[in-house]
Amino acid sequence: MKFETVIGLVMAEIERAEKLHPVWPRDLVKASALIAEEAGEEIRAANDYAEKRGSKRQIVIEAVHTAATALRFLKNIEDPADNE
């Protein structure tokens, strides 16, 4: 998959997710947990594929969700310089 395609998929997912869930947690642990949750779903999709119960398409979907969630985390985190 071309990098431009990947970025397009992730940006589209960010837009969709921000409409569905406009409020982002301020608590860093809760926000980080969202990334871990998405990564867990990606691992499950890969495991399902390895066990002939899933598709590569689902792996890609979950990887895009994980990337989008990580970018939303970074977008919403306070500037570390503000806390020093």
Question: What is the per-residue pLDDT across 5-16, written as a single tens digit (0 to 9) for each?
Answer: 999 999 999 999
Report d(CA 81, CA 60) in Å as an integer.
35
User: Residue 78 gets which letter from DSSP?
Assistant: P
Total domains, the chain: 1
Q: Which of 55, 33, 34 is nearest to 45 (CA)?
A: 55
- The domain in which residue 59 lies consists of 3-83
pLDDT at 82 over 90: no
User: Residue 83: pLDDT band by 50, 70, 90 thresholds?
Assistant: low
Q: Judging by beta carbons within 10 Å of its beta carbon (0-12, 13-18, 19+), is residue 24 exposed, middle or buried?
A: middle
pLDDT in tens, 39-72: 999 999 999 999 999 999 999 999 999 999 999 9
